């Protein structure tokens, strides 16, 4: 709860006004039965003036109840909306500082559940605090005092009633709160599965995996249901149980009043207010119980947000360093890297240097560490040991904006966002002109298909870019990478869905039109990088050779082997 205090402070005025509405509303609720008793006595004594006066006050109290109730909801909502929206913004800003390793540690699905579902629980909790948690204890204490004052000689009945209902409440609340952790855990699991299912819906359908996927989802959903049913079971026993206890105590007190009515005839007028106070007490206990449960549920969510806030980003940039783009040279000095959740190093003692403007190919078998190496250049992870320098600066010392301006990374899996083609390309450069869009599209061999749309660059990209082919997506993401004009461009197997001719044209365009750009081309096929100034050969995380295609054919057995296998495969395909 401590995490919320600074946020509440921002809404001091609303908190103060909520407290005032609570005090007045509690007073109106508690004073009404007392006044009713007074009116009954005045009726019995035939005091008409007093009856009219007190009835008017009763109506006034009713109105006060309504007005303070409405104002309470208004101010509580203002606090809740304000606090949760500030907290969500801060949490979102914190997630923005996360490295890939941090995101992986939580899983992106869990982060989105925390931002949506957990925030909703926190919202319910704050609303409950300002509507019930402060008001109901006041009403509870007030109704206990008033019930005792109404018939002092049966004070013990109130004590018995409280003890029984509280006992029931404590058992139920304990049971229910232990289930909230499980509830959030299953929510994470289900949203993870649903996200995975929707993202891979084509694979699921084409491999006829729908029944299996549905069965997995059903299993998690059944487990969540079980938790919900148990919570529901406890909820459904509390209310009737507490009502039964209250009516038993009320019946006992009414019976006792009946047996002694001759000695205390004035007790006739106390029965109604007494029943009223006992029922108010019951109502207050139930609402306090519910509020405690809502708050403990909110606390689970708050703890999950706190976990995000307490996480130290494991890639920290030097915000004091200059924001200007760095140079285009790359230097790896004895770099090794193990993924945060991995056992074995994926890169082992890698050292190499690339001069600005060079085109460098990286080849190696699948899983040899090519993409990992590229991700280290973009500082999506830090090396476990060793040092990487870009433009002569140690990556651990650079400013984040400087690095993002320097390295443009076109991912292996092309990802576009909903919006227009132009919106997507401008993610590379916010203020790119139409000329720059066209030039980048031409270099990426995307211009031809873009020109076929009536709206050209304003053509809509649907959600998950479902209206584009794999090759079109790759061309657009290459164009997005090019448009940034960064000194270093990394193409991580980004031409795999293109035909050989388009791939060649893209390479020629890069060579001719971006001669000063350092280009790192990761490729499965040697033919894609054979014209590079230098080729790095990775084998099981080790840099086993570097040189031009001709040099490597003479000196590197690993390179020869890959080349031979690929040539043989090509020949087979031609036959």
30 or 491: CB nearest ligand ATP: 491
- Which helix (DSSP H) or strand (DSSP E) does residue 348 occupy? strand 347-354
381 or 457: CB nearest ligand ATP: 381
Distance separating alpha carbons of residues 488 and 326, to the nearest angstrom: 9
- Interhelix angle 155-199/135-150, nearest 10 degrees: 160
296 - beta bridge partners?
Answer: none
Nearest to 445 by CA among 517, 501, 523: 501
Tokens matching residue 567: 């040539």
Question: Shortest gap between Cβ of 109 and ligand ATP (angstroms)?
Answer: 15
Question: Shortest gap between Cβ of 481 and ligand ATP (angstroms)?
Answer: 17
Does residue number 426 form part of the binding site for ligand ATP (CB under 6 A)?
no
Does residue number 29 form part of the binding site for ligand ATP (CB under 6 A)?
no
107 or 221: CB nearest ligand ATP: 107
522 - beta bridge partners?
Answer: 362, 492
From residue 509 to residue 538, the character string flagging contacts with ligand ATP as x (rule: CB under 6 A) and all else as - is ---------------x--------------
Q: CB within 8 A of 537, min separation 6: which ones? A: 363, 364, 543, 544, 545, 546, 552, 556, 558, 559, 562
- φ, ψ of residue 409 to 5 degrees: the values are -115, 110
* The one among 342, 415, 460, 469 contacting ligand ATP by CB under 6 A: 342
* Cβ atoms 280, 32 nearer than 8 A: no
Question: Shortest gap between Cβ of 566 and ligand ATP (angstroms)?
Answer: 13
Does residue number 370 form part of the binding site for ligand ATP (CB under 6 A)?
yes
Question: Shortest gap between Cβ of 328 and ligand ATP (angstroms)?
Answer: 22
Does residue number 339 form part of the binding site for ligand ATP (CB under 6 A)?
yes
* Cβ atoms 118, 301 nearer than 8 A: yes
| CA distances (Å), origin 165, targets 153, 249, 283 | 21, 11, 11
Does residue number 243 form part of the binding site for ligand ATP (CB under 6 A)?
no
Question: Shortest gap between Cβ of 337 and ligand ATP (angstroms)?
Answer: 9
Q: CB within 8 A of 209, min separation 6: which ones? A: 203
Instruction: From 68-76, 272-280, 337-345, 476-484, give the range in contact with ligand ATP by CB under 6 A.
Output: 337-345
Question: Shortest gap between Cβ of 435 and ligand ATP (angstroms)?
Answer: 35
263 or 366: CB nearest ligand ATP: 366
From residue 374 to residue 413, the character string flagging contacts with ligand ATP as x (rule: CB under 6 A) and all else as - is --------------------------------------x-
Instruction: From 148-156, 230-238, 340-348, 496-504, give the range in contact with ligand ATP by CB under 6 A.
Output: 340-348
370 or 439: CB nearest ligand ATP: 370
* Cβ atoms 382, 396 nearer than 8 A: yes
* Cβ atoms 315, 379 nearer than 8 A: yes
* The one among 113, 288, 346, 441 contacting ligand ATP by CB under 6 A: 346
* The one among 150, 184, 280, 368 contacting ligand ATP by CB under 6 A: 368
Contacts to ligand ATP from residues 89-108, by CB under 6 A: 104
Residue 450's Cβ-side half-sphere holds a number of Cα atoms within 13 Å equal to 27
Instruction: From 161-169, 261-269, 366-374, 546-554, give the range in contact with ligand ATP by CB under 6 A.
Output: 366-374
Q: What is the DSSP letter of 414?
A: -
- Interhelix angle 500-513/470-483, nearest 10 degrees: 0
Q: How many other C-beta atoms can be found within 10 angstroms of the C-beta atom of residue 159? A: 12
292 or 347: CB nearest ligand ATP: 347
Count, residues near ligand ATP per rule CB under 6 A: 15
* Cβ atoms 468, 476 nearer than 8 A: yes
* The one among 372, 456, 548, 560 contacting ligand ATP by CB under 6 A: 372
Does residue number 81 form part of the binding site for ligand ATP (CB under 6 A)?
no
124 or 372: CB nearest ligand ATP: 372
Q: What is the DSSP letter of 115?
A: I
- φ, ψ of residue 281 to 5 degrees: the values are -60, -45
* Cβ atoms 114, 308 nearer than 8 A: yes
Does residue number 364 form part of the binding site for ligand ATP (CB under 6 A)?
yes
180 or 337: CB nearest ligand ATP: 337
Q: What residues line the site for ligand ATP (CB under 6 A)?
A: 104, 339, 341-342, 346, 364, 366-372, 412, 524
């Amino acid at each position: 709860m401590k995490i919320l205090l600074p946020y509440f402070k921002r809404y001091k005025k609303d908190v103060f006004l909520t407290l005032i509405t609570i005090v007045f509303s509690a007073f109106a609720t508690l004073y009404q039965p007392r006044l009713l008793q007074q009116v009954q006595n005045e009726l019995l004594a035939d005091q008409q003036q007093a009856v009219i006066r007190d009835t008017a006050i009763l109506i006034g109290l009713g109105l006060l109840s309504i007005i303070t109730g409405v104002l309470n909801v208004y101010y509580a909502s203002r606090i809740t909306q304000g606090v949760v929206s500030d907290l969500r913004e801060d949490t979102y800003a914190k997630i923005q500082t996360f490295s890939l390793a941090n995101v992986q540690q939580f899983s992106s699905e869990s982060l989105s559940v925390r931002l949506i579902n957990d925030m909703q629980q926190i919202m319910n909790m704050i609303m409950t605090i300002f509507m019930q948690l402060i008001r109901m204890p006041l009403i509870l204490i007030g109704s206990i005092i008033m019930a005792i004052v109404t018939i002092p000689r049966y004070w013990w009945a109130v004590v018995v009633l409280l003890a029984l209902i509280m006992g029931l409440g404590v058992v139920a609340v304990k049971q229910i709160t232990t289930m909230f952790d499980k509830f959030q855990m299953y929510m994470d699991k289900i949203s993870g599965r649903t996200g995975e299912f929707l993202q891979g819906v084509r694979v699921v359908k084409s491999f006829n995996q729908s029944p299996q996927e549905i069965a997995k989802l059903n299993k998690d959903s059944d487990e969540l249901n079980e938790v919900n049913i148990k919570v529901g079971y406890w909820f459904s026993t509390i209310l009737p149980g507490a009502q039964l206890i209250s009516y038993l105590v009320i019946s006992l007190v009414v019976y006792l009043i009946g047996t002694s009515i001759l000695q205390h005839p004035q007790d006739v007028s106390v029965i109604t207010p007494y029943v009223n106070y006992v029922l108010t007490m019951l109502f207050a206990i139930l609402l306090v119980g519910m509020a405690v449960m809502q708050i403990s549920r909110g606390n689970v969510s708050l703890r999950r947000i706190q976990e995000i806030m307490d996480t130290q980003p494991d890639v920290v940039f030097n915000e004091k360093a200059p924001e200007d783009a760095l140079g285009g040279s790359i230097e790896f000095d004895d770099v090794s890297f193990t993924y945060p959740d991995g056992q074995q190093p994926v890169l082992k003692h890698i050292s190499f240097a690339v001069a600005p403007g060079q085109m460098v190919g990286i080849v190696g078998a699948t899983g040899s560490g090519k993409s990992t190496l590229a991700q280290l250049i973009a500082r999506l992870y830090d090396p476990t040991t060793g040092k990487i320098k870009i433009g002569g600066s140690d990556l651990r010392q650079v400013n984040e904006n400087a690095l993002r301006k320097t390295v443009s990374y076109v991912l292996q899996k092309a990802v576009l966002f909903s919006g227009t083609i132009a919106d997507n390309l401008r993610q590379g450069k916010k203020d790119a002109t139409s000329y720059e869009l066209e030039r980048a599209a031409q270099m990426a061999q995307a211009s031809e298909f873009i020109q076929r749309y009536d709206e050209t660059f304003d053509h809509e990209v649907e959600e998950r870019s479902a209206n584009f082919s794999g090759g079109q997506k790759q061309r657009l993401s290459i164009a997005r990478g090019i448009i940034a004009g960064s000194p270093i461009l990394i193409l991580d197997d980004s031409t795999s869905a293109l035909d050989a001719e388009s791939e060649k044209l893209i390479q020629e365009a890069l060579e001719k039109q971006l001669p000063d750009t350092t280009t790192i081309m990761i490729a499965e096929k040697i033919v894609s990088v054979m014209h590079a100034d230098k080729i790095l050969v990775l084998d099981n995380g080790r840099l086993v050779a570097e040189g031009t295609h001709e040099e490597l054919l003479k000196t590197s057995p690993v390179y020869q082997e890959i080349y031979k296998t690929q040539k043989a495969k090509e020949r087979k395909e031609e036959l």
